[in-house]
Amino acid sequence: MSVKKSRSEENSREETPRNEDLERQLRAQLAAVTGGLAPEDYTEAWWSWYFNLTKQPDKQLSLVQSAFEKTLETWQFAARAATGAAMPPDPSSGFADPAWNVWPFNVYAKSYTTWAAWMREALAAGSAAPDKSAARLRFATQQWVDAASPANFLQTNPEILNKTVAESGQNLMRGLQNWLEDAQRLLPGGRTPKPGQFEVGKDVAVTPGKVVFRNRLIEVLQYAPQTDSVYAEPVLITPAWIMKYYILDLSPRNSLVRYLVEKGHTAFVISWKNPTSADRDVGMDDYVQLGFKDALDVVNRIVPNRKVHAVGYCIGGTC
């Protein structure tokens, strides 16, 4: 006996995919504005850090004392640097060029590194046991700290200023041209970048290899060792999903793949397919199973009964 479905049930089922499509479109538009970051996740991480810190008065006091000490240290550094004395900032902070030793650029560098160090202290003070929330906050804060570096601004970067003088501003014109081209590509219907002079297999990805496996998400390339003696354990490299596999095989002198085979390793590299709208439902589980696990099975079949050295490049390491 068949049971006739009510019209409300049918309408409910029709609305569900519509709602999912609408949510997907809204999230895609939001990602275009935020650079792919999920604001709610990072807002939640910030509040978690804040509330955790409010429960620890001793750490609050320690942060205040540290801020006072670092401010005083920066002012003392600035006062000495203003007299004309060579006051190089900490080279490990990324300001190793001699141009940063001169006032006022050494003061910019010192102020920034001191502030960045205090920010790291504050993050550690308000973070509980390591978890995803704390990791998100560290990531977001580090992006903010890096973006605030005086090296990123023309007026506060002596290296760029010296280069601008030496080239009579031509470097700025090239930078402006690059920025305009990037902006045009971001516009709806913007033109795609030119391929340039690089040809796969000729200018990049020149290490000899062959495709040994293919599914709907990946290809697996194998590179044979180029030595008489060979290591028994193969290497499986998982590049970032958003990059081509030859990011690790750019040129003979700039190639991890070539280095490995010249040292006697059997190397395998995953090549991810270019996704289309048909792949919109592909999720993390698919990237793990169809990506890394399928590739690992292939390596185990080709080189059986051996441990495999797994290498994750960039976000490919999350597999």
314 catalytic, yes or no? yes
Q: From the candidates 28, 124, 242, 314, which is the catalytic residue? A: 314
| Cα–Cα distances in angstroms (integers) from residue 45 to residues 49, 58, 60, 90, 251, in the given order | 6, 22, 19, 31, 41
d(CA 123, CA 275): 37
The single residue listed with the structure tokens 């996740």 is 41
CA atoms within a 13 Å half-sphere pointing along the CA-CB vector of 52: 17
CA dihedral 20, 26, 29, 30 (to 10 degrees): -120
d(CA 47, CA 227): 56
Which positions are catalytic?
314
